[in-house]
Structure 1
Amino acid sequence: MSSFGDNCPLVITPRQLTDLDHSKLSILDASWHMPNSPRKAREEFLQKHIQGAQYLDLDEVASEHELGLKHMMPSPEKFAQACEQFGISPTSHVILYDTHGVFSSPRALFMFRAFGHNRSSILDGGLPNWEAHGCPVESGEAQQREKASYPVPQFDQDIIRSYEQILGNADRDPSKDPAAELVLDARPAGRWSGKDPEPRPGLSSGHIPHSVSLPFSAFLMKRTYTHAGDAAPGTYTELASPSALHSTLEEALGKETADEVRAGKRRVVTSCGSGMTAAVIWLGLKQMGVEKISLYDESWTGYAAREGSKIEKSE
C-alpha cells in the first residue's frame, strides 16, 4: 500500500486510490445537486457508494447566512466538529468524490484546504469513474467511525471574498487597474450574459461589472462508460488535462492576462451561482499552479438578491 505522506495531490485517479491503505483514509461522498434537480444525494448514497465512504452534506456543514443561502463556508468550530464526527483527525488523508464525476467535490476540497487540511484530494471522475474501473461499491448506511479529536483550525481569510469586497471591486476595470481583482464567473454563458434565466425563481441573470465568463464545464472533460445492468451508457466528468486547462484560460482571458494570472501578477476571484462550481475553476487554476485565488462565497445568488448591486447584461 502506498502513501502520499504530507504531499497529497489535489486530484487522484481510481488506480491511485485503490493503491492507498484504506484503513488510513477518510472517504467522503460530497455529492450535491441543483435546487431544481429531482435527484437526492443522500438517498443515492444509501443505494450505492464507495466501500467505507461516509456522506458529507455540504448544506449541513455550513454557516448560517443572513439571506438564508446554502453551503456557505462553515466556522472553524463547525468544521472541526464535523471532522470529529467523521472520525477525521488533522493527519487523516481525506478523499472527496461526487456522483457527477467532478461537480461538487471541488467545493468540499476547497473547504478542507481553506482550513489548512492539505491532506485532502478529490477522486477524478468520482463514483462513475470508480465503477468504470471495476472498483467495489456498497449500499446502506455508512459504518459508524470512532470519534476523532480535531483542534479548531485557523481559517485563511484571504481565500474568501465578501459582498462588500466584490461590490467595491466592481467599480475597478482590470484592463486599466492592475490592482483590480479579476472575477471569473463559472455559470453557463447564457446566464452570465442575461440571455438565459437563473434556476432560482425571481433572481435576475446577468453579471458583475468587469467579470469574465468562464463556464466551469470548460475545465472538464465528458466521459462515457457502460456499467453492467444499465440500459444505456452513462456519462461523467473529469478534470481537463493541463494543456486543455491552459488553452481554455487563454481563450477566456487572452494570452497576456492569462500569463499574468499564472505568474501571480493578478489575483483571481471565482464566482458562480451559489459558490459551488466556482470551486471547479479554483481547482483548475490550482492545477495550473496559480496561487492568488479567492472565491466569492455567496456568488451570484447573494449578489443579485441585494438591492444596490450593479448588474450588467450583454450579448
Structure 2
Amino acid sequence: MIGSISIRTPLLTTFTTRTMTRSISIKAPLLVSPRTLQELRSSPNADVKILDASWTMPNVPRNPSKEFVEKHVPGARYLDLDEVASPSELGLKHMMPSAQVFSEALENFGITPTSHVVLYDSQGIFSAPRALFMFRAFGHNNSSVLDGGLPGWEIEGLPTEMGHAEKTLKSAYPVPAFVSETVRSYEEMVSNAAKPLSDPLAEIVLDARSLERYTGLEPEPRPGLSSGHIPNSFSLPFRAFLQTNAIPGSDKTFTTFLSANDLRRKLVEAVGTEHAQLILQGKRGVRTTCGSGMTAGILWLGLKLIEESTLVSLYDESWTGYALRPESRIDRGVL
C-alpha cells in the first residue's frame, strides 16, 4: 500500500553562484503519496511543480514523451533525462548536467529556487529517483518523488489529463552550486576498488543490476559490453528495495518503495550486519552504481529513506563507463 507522509519544512540557507543572492531552500520529504500531492496541488498559493521523469531502457519499445502526451498528472511537464544532461567523453547518455544546463532547464519549467518539485515516472518507481538525485545534488532540497508514480496516482482515483503541456512563463533560477561529493568519477571508483574492504577508508559499493549480470552469468543489454562487477562491490539489485503491486483489472504492475524497516533488512542481507550498521551510523560511505546511472538512484533514495543522513554518492557512468575502458579490472562471481 502507498502510505501517507507528512511534510517537514526546516529552512536551509544556500548561496547561488550566478548572482550570489541569498535564497531559501526548503527541505521537503523524499517521498510523497498521491493523496499528499493532491493536497499540495490544492493548497492556495502553493508553488508546486510536477515533472514526469519517465525513462525506459533503449531496448524497451516505449516512448515516454509520447506516453506523456497521452496521459499525465494534471499540470505536469515532461523532464527528458537524456536531454537535461551534459555530454560524456564516452558518449554516455543521461549523465549529470552542468549547473548551467540544470539552471536553464528549470527556468524553462517555470521553477524557482523555492518551488516544491515533485517527480514521478510511469512505472511507479524507476527513473524518478535518479531525477530526485539530480535536484538534491544541485541543492534543490525542496523536491520529492511521488511513490507509486502515475499508476499509483490513478489507482487512488485521481485525475489525469492528455495533450502537450502548456508552456509556463520562464522563471529566474540562478546557477546553483553543485555538491561535488555526491557524484563519483571513474578514477575515484578505481582508487576505492584497490582498497580492501577491511580498510575503514574504503567506501561500500552497491551494484543495482541483476545478480546474473553482476556475477557475469548473463550478458549486458548493451552489445559488446562485458558483464561482471567492480572489485569489492556488493550486489543489491534495485528491485530488492521495491514492492510490486497489481493494477486492478489489468495484468500490469507498478512499484512502490518498501517500508524503512524492510529496506534496512534488504541492506543487511546484501552487505551483512556489520557493514550495514557502519553505513547507517554514518561511519562508512556508500557508492551506488548500476548499468548506466539510472537505477543506482533507487538504491540512493532507498538508503536515504532508511536514514537520511547516510553518506551516499552515485557513480554517474556506472557499469557502462567502467566496462568500456579496456584497462578496467572486472571481477565475476559473488563477493
Per the normalisation by structure 1, the TM-score is 0.96
**Residue 113 (structure 1) aligns with:** 136
Quote the Cα distance in structure 1 between the aligned partners of 2:231 and 2:7: 45
- Which of 244, 247, 258 does residue 240 from structure 1 map onto? 258
Is the CA contact 1:3–1:20 (under 8 Å) kept in the aligned structure 2?
no
Structure 2 distance, partners of 1:78, 1:84, is 10
Distance 2:332 2:7 in 1: 49
Tell whether 2:28 aligns with 1:8.
Answer: yes
Contact 1:3 1:21 in 2 (8 A): no
The residue matched to 1:20 in structure 2 has which SS? Answer: helix
Verify the 8 A CA contact 1:89 1:148 in the aligned structure 2: yes
Following TM superposition, by how much is the alpha carbon of 1:251 offset from its aligned partner in structure 2, in angstroms? Answer: 0.5
Which amino acid in structure 2 is aligned with residue 138 of structure 1?
E
Per the alignment, residue 221 of structure 1 pairs with 243
The 3-state SS of whatever aligns with 2:117 is: strand
Q: Deviation per CA, 1:21-53, whole angstroms, max 9, x where unpaired?
A: 355211000000001100110010011000000
The 8 Å contact of residues 261 and 306 in structure 2, kept in 1 or not, is answered as: no
* 294, 305, 313: which one aligns with 2:324: 305
CA distance in structure 1 between the partners assigned to 2:232 and 2:277 by the alignment = 19
1:249 is aligned to 267
What is the SS of the residue equivalent to 1:137? coil
Q: Distance in 1 between matches of 2:92 and 2:147?
A: 28
SS class of match (2:86): coil
Summarize deviations over 1:71-106 as a string: whole Å, max 9, x none. Answer: 000000110000000000000000000000000000
d(CA) in 1 for partners of 2:7, 2:323:
45
Q: 1:4 Cα deviation (Å)?
A: 5.3
Alignment of 1:269-284 (within 5 A): 269-284=287-302
Look up the match of 1:27.
Answer: 50
Q: Which runs of no fewer than 5 residues in structure 1 stay unpaired?
A: none
Identity %: 56
Give the structure 2 partner of residue 97 of structure 1: 120
In structure 2, the residue matched to 1:258 is 276
Which of residues 63, 66, 91 in structure 2 aligns to 1:68?
A: 91
Give 1:193's aligned amino acid.
T
C-alpha distance after superposition, 1:182-226 (max 9, x if no partner): 110000100000001101111000000000000000000000122
RMSD of aligned Cα (Å) = 1.2
Matched to 1:224, the amino acid is A
| Counterpart for residue 200 of structure 1 | 222
Q: Secondary structure at the match of 1:21?
A: helix
Partner of 2:101: 78
TM norm structure 2: 0.90
Give me the whole-angstrom Cα distance separating, in 1, the residues matched to 2:8 and 2:118: 12
Q: 1:209 aligns with which of 227, 231, 242?
A: 231
Displacement, 1:239?
0.7
Match of 1:287 in 2: 305
Number of equivalenced pairs: 309
Contiguous gaps of at least 5 residues in structure 2: 1-5, 10-25
Q: 2:202 aligns with which of 180, 202, 212?
A: 180
Moved over 3 A (4+): 2-5
Match for 1:138 among 138, 142, 161?
A: 161
Residues of 1 paired with 2:72 and 2:143: CA distance? 19
Alpha-carbon contact 2:27-2:143 (below 8 Å) kept: no
Name the amino acid aligned to 1:56. L
